[in-house]
Amino acid sequence: MEPEACRSMSDVRVGVDDLDKTIVALLSKRFRFMEAAARIKAERSEVRDEQRRRDVIDHARAVAERHGAPANVITDLYDRLVEASIAYELKCFDRDRGAA
């Protein structure tokens, strides 16, 4: 159901719950890419790439603007997502190499 078709809060909640299932599934896949990155990168110092971080956040902002979403909110979410992704990738990098 599209949001514009909602006629009750029940409709809204069902739509949000369904969408959240999709979002979490996509985030799970995104974090699997972080696991792959940790496996592929040769040096721990390669995990944090500030230029790539800025590019990802800028891209998310541009996509949000194209879709009419609140760009500042999306930018904040992506800032937090990218930081969490870096932390997760570092954890995977260390785990894969037996670091403490």
Q: pLDDT digit string (tens) for 37-95?
A: 999 999 999 999 999 999 999 999 999 999 999 999 999 999 999 999 999 999 999 99
- Crossing angle, helix 71-96 and helix 50-67, to 10 degrees? 140
Residue 8 has pLDDT above 90, yes or no: yes
Q: What is the pTM of this model?
A: 0.91
3-state secondary structure of 8: coil
CATH number, span 3-96: 1.20.59.10
- The Cα 43–Cα 78 span in angstroms is 25
Instruction: Count CB-CB contacts under 10 A for residue 67.
Output: 9
Q: Which two tokens stand for residue 70?
A: 């609140």
